[in-house]
Amino acid sequence: MNTVGIVGVGLIGGSIGRALRETGVKVLGFDNNPERLLEAQSLGALDSTVPSVVDLAAMVDILLIAAPVGFIADIAIESLDAGAPVVTDVGSVKAPIIDAIESLRPDLAFKFVGGHPMAGSEREGLAGSDPGLFIGATWVLTPTPTTDVESFSVVRELVSKLGAQLLVVPPVEHDALVAMVSHLPQLAASTLMDVAVSSDDDQTNLLRLAAGGFRDMTRIASSHPDIWPDICLANRQAIMNALDEYATGIARVRKLIADGNQPELLDLFKRARHARRGLLPVMASGEDMIEILVPIPDRPGVLAEITTLAGSLNINIVDLQISHSAEGGGGVLSLVVSASQASSLESALESTGHTSSRSVIS
């Protein structure tokens, strides 16, 4: 794989281009926004620009589509018709795209391999692109029974060059999974934010009371809105199924509260806590991890002090989060470290005037 073509050079397309060029791969690009193309080249995401998808398809070993979900099938078909040897994409919905390509181009669909990197950024557009965005991230590929083995191998090589971890699942399974772990959380966060601001006349008090939990849960409501309507409609059945499951769960919780069922509420919170902790990275050694909670003041440099302290002791911070106080003036820093290193970090924190508490993550 010597030359890669990218259609769409926003956040994801730009990050892919920059990462590939760092590995020595030549990257050509097309975008329907000429100014964005020039910017991508100036940022180092592209070696050169190409005037059309048709031209791009004829010049590359693999063509990658980083366009909105609603356009991917049409671009893929145009690319295949123009002779692209292998085509893949980065859309967050797979089955409808693959179904459309297989239906309209059954003789060429074997060259298309659906893909979806589970990576993103708080920053938007090309300016937020990062060549390290995919290192360690999960990259899903969704081959079908008709997918060409050589085409799949080319896409797998591309994923490897970007430093991502490969996960292979059928298209329908992919859509059901992302509906639950990506699309439903986006809808829940956006709906919660919308309900909160529309049901409170005093926005000042609402914002003052919006502590860490509310901020954490609604963080993704600030993501770029333009991409989501297409995603919701393209993956509507899987999303509706996930919404139905969530609605059933909410109704069950409502009944527990209405009935005053404290034991089952406690069981719910315990199950959720245990499951949530399972999302944290697992130590390669299988060693327990410790969560250390450190109250911190709201002042410049305090986070750097604590992380530098851990670094000076050669302590690896596996996970880090900050919960802000509703009243301002500080918050609580959560540090996850291996059990063997926890005591050293706690002692060092105490020696620098920080208090802390701990719990075992299992």
| 124-180 confidence digits (pLDDT tens) | 788 888 999 999 899 999 999 999 999 999 999 999 999 999 999 999 999 999 999
Q: Which domains does the chain have, with CATH numbers?
A: 3-168 (3.40.50.720), 175-277 (1.10.3660.10), 289-361 (3.30.70.260)
Q: Name the nearest CA neighbour of 297 among 334, 336, 328, 335.
A: 328
Residue 319 pairs with which residues in a beta bridge?
336
Residue 247: count of CB within 10 angstroms of its CB = 10
Q: What is the mean pLDDT of the chain?
A: 90
More confident residue, 358 or 91: 91
Cα distances from 211 to residues 17, 87, 194, 195, 322, in angstroms, run: 38, 45, 17, 17, 11
- Are 176 and 241 in contact, with CB atoms under 8 Å apart? yes
Instruction: Say how many CA atoms lie within 13 Å of 141 toward its Cβ.
Output: 24
> What gap in Å lies between CA 213 and CA 67, rounded to an integer?
33
More confident residue, 128 or 109: 109
Q: Tell me the whole-structure pTM to 2 decimals.
A: 0.81
Say yes or no to pLDDT of 284 above 50.
no
> What gap in Å lies between CA 148 and CA 153, rounded to an integer?
9
Give the β-pairing of 289-297 and 357-361: antiparallel
Which pLDDT band holds residue 106 (cuts at 50, 70, 90)? very high
For the chain, the farthest-separated pair of C-alpha atoms sits apart, in whole angstroms, at 69
Q: Give residue 281's pLDDT.
A: 59
| 198-232 confidence digits (pLDDT tens) | 865 666 677 667 666 787 788 888 888 888 999 99
- Are 19 and 131 in contact, with CB atoms under 8 Å apart? yes
